[in-house]
């Protein structure tokens, strides 16, 4: 279904048991829409984020995941799973989509104008977490 819809998924990260399990699942199910890459850093990471249509974060529970903020700062809408701690913010700020069993259908129905709005909302949300903004808020709170 992913191929027919014209989607591909690129997964970046270090070698790990999770990556091995996903690679095995890909092979067993003959999935050809997903590709695995090593971890990327600095300018290479920024280039990849700038050219990504969406950023997907699976279950995470640490504070504010930096990968989400980094990608949103580059106008990249998010796909977040129910296990993330940013799902409520995603719904409130409308900066992406919740991953569920209908995600491919939802994506295929997403208009260009709706995508642009998600991208703009992603950037606006990321700007709330800019160091200057946080610094100014901290000074006000500490006074």
Do the domain assignments include residue 68? Answer: yes
Q: Which domain holds residue 81?
A: 40-142
Q: What is the mean pLDDT of residues 87-96?
A: 95
Domain count for the chain, please give it.
1
What does the pLDDT look like over 100-112, one tens digit per residue?
999 989 998 999 9
Do the domain assignments include residue 1? Answer: no
Do the domain assignments include residue 10? Answer: no
The rounded mean pLDDT for the chain is: 88
Do the domain assignments include residue 65? Answer: yes
CA distance 79 to 54: 7
| pLDDT at position 61 | 60
Do the domain assignments include residue 22? Answer: no
Do the domain assignments include residue 95? Answer: yes
Give the domain CATH number at 88: 3.40.50.2000
- Closest alpha carbon to 57 in 86, 38, 33, 79: 79
What does the pLDDT look like over 22-77, one tens digit per residue?
889 999 998 888 899 999 999 999 999 999 999 988 766 656 678 889 999 999 99
Do the domain assignments include residue 91? Answer: yes
Q: With b meaning 16 or more CB within 10 Å and e meaning fewer, what string describes 80-91?
A: beeebebbebbe
């Amino acid at each position: 279904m992913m191929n027919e819809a014209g989607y591909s998924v690129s997964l970046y990260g270090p070698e790990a048991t999770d990556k091995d399990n996903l690679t095995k699942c890909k092979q067993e199910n003959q999935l050809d829409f997903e590709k695995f890459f090593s971890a990327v850093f600095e300018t290479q990471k920024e280039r990849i984020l700038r050219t990504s249509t969406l950023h997907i974060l699976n279950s995470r529970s640490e504070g504010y995941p930096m990968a989400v903020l980094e990608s949103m700062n580059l106008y990249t809408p998010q796909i977040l799973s129910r296990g993330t701690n940013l799902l409520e913010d995603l719904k409130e700020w409308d900066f992406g989509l919740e991953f569920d069993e209908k995600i491919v259908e939802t994506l295929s129905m997403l208009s260009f104008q709706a995508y642009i709005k998600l991208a703009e909302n992603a950037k606006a949300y990321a700007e709330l977490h800019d160091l200057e903004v946080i610094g100014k808020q901290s000074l006000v709170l500490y006074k």
